[in-house]
Amino acid sequence: MKSPVQTILVFYAVVVSYMAGALRSPLDQPNIIIFLADDFGYGDLSSYGHPTQEFGPIDQMGREGIRFTQWYAPALFCSPSRGAMLTGRYPVRVGLYGDHQQPYPVFVSQSSTGLPKEEITIAEALKSCGYATGMVGKWHLGINEFNSTDGNHLPMHHGFDFVGTILPFSNVWRCDLTKRLLPSVDRSSCFLYYNDTMLQQPFSHHNLTSAMLLDTKAFIYDHQHEPFFFYFSFPHTHSNMFSSTAFRNSSRRGFYGDNINEMSWAVGEMLQLLRDLNLERNTLAIFLSDHGPEREMCKEAGVSGPLKGKKPIPRKQPNFVTRKRKQTV
């Protein structure tokens, strides 16, 4: 009987074998990049029918790849869904239904619990197969265990050798220094780390996406001659409605569309780097969301498409998208 992580690796192997058949060459150890959006709706992309969202690199990525039309999230909230994705196990199997001291099933900045260390993540599994591993962005699977600074639940303890700019806990719309979204900033939830070192509290959103992108590019440059696994976990688009100056007013859709345009731009930058380094044909890139949009806190926070709306529903998510090939998982 296969372990859950083996099941994840088998899935990737099936997709890779499909790629290898199309390319007529073996891909024994393909590079793997997961782009994970935060609370992203089924209907938020132009290619999924949104009438005013601009067509961007994520849509183009999908047009050139494979579309999974039945990709269901394992949980309705961030922590259990992300833990399930990284371990291949149902959230309840590993106790990932939140901090028992809280009334909602996610880890918060004061939690002393996190992803259990005995659980094997895909990063650990691939590392044992000779992969370099790294991540940037939203973690949300625990921070500290025994005191307020030990960092025992951070990603470097779960198989990630390189940990760049990360948000250990993120509802970053609570951290808007302009106070456009909320009248005050929740400092206890607003901090930015690099590896296990706190950089800012509260932090500025202005260069956040660019910082994550630079870290990711540096990792790929450093490991371009060996197989690598990278987890690019966006803080977009969890009701944040933040974007850098360059993307403000870039979307007919408004603030939320600006946010998506910035995220899509970052994905496009990464795909272009793969082409520039001649890595594109040996890299599996996947775009998905942890679950559906949060619409309770903000009226502009995502579109569920043909689904019922709001978080508390099973949902489908895109990976590679194409007009000709479709797969169901």
Verify whether residue 140 is a known catalytic residue.
yes
Mean pLDDT of 278-304: 78
Segment among 10-24, 46-60, 290-304 with least mean pLDDT: 10-24
Mean pLDDT of 252-266: 92
Residue 255 tokens read as 């603030």
Task: Supply φ then ψ for residue 91, to 5 degrees.
Answer: -55, -40
Q: Is the pLDDT of residue 75 over 60?
A: yes
Residue 129 tokens read as 């197969």
Strands 31-37 and 192-194: unpaired
pLDDT tens readout for residues 174-212: 676 667 666 777 777 788 899 999 888 877 778 899 999
DSSP 204-254: -STTHHHHHHHHHHHHHHHTTTS-EEEEEE--TTSS-----GGGTT--TT-
The 8-class DSSP code of residue 120 comes to: P
Confidence grade of residue 15 (pLDDT, cut at 50, 70, 90): low
pLDDT tens readout for residues 123-150: 999 999 999 999 999 999 989 889 888 8
DSSP 300-326: TS---TTS--SSSS-----SS-BSS-E
Q: Is 32 helix (H, G, I), strand (E, B) or coil?
A: strand
Rounded Cα distance between 114 and 86, Å, is: 13
Look at the chain and count its residues.
Answer: 329
Between 91 and 183, the more confident residue is 91
For 77, residues 6+ apart whose C-beta sits below 8 A from its C-beta are 98, 104, 105, 106, 291, 311
- pLDDT over 90, % of the chain: 41
| Nearest in space to 83 (alpha carbons), one of 153, 16, 144 | 153
Q: Is the pLDDT of residue 168 over 80?
A: yes
Among 50, 140, 205, 291, the active-site one is: 140
Confidence grade of residue 269 (pLDDT, cut at 50, 70, 90): very high
| Nearest in space to 65 (alpha carbons), one of 285, 299, 254 | 285
Verify whether residue 78 is a known catalytic residue.
yes
For 216, residues 6+ apart whose C-beta sits below 8 A from its C-beta are 134, 136, 164, 230, 232, 270
Q: How many CB atoms lie within 10 A of CB 107?
A: 27
Segment among 52-66, 178-192, 206-220, 292-306 with least mean pLDDT: 292-306
| Nearest in space to 107 (alpha carbons), one of 120, 94, 118 | 94
State the pLDDT at residue 104: 62
Q: Is the pLDDT of residue 23 over 60?
A: no
State the pLDDT at residue 32: 95
Among 50, 78, 190, 205, the active-site one is: 78
Helix (H) and strand (E) counts in the chain = 6, 9
State the pLDDT at residue 283: 94
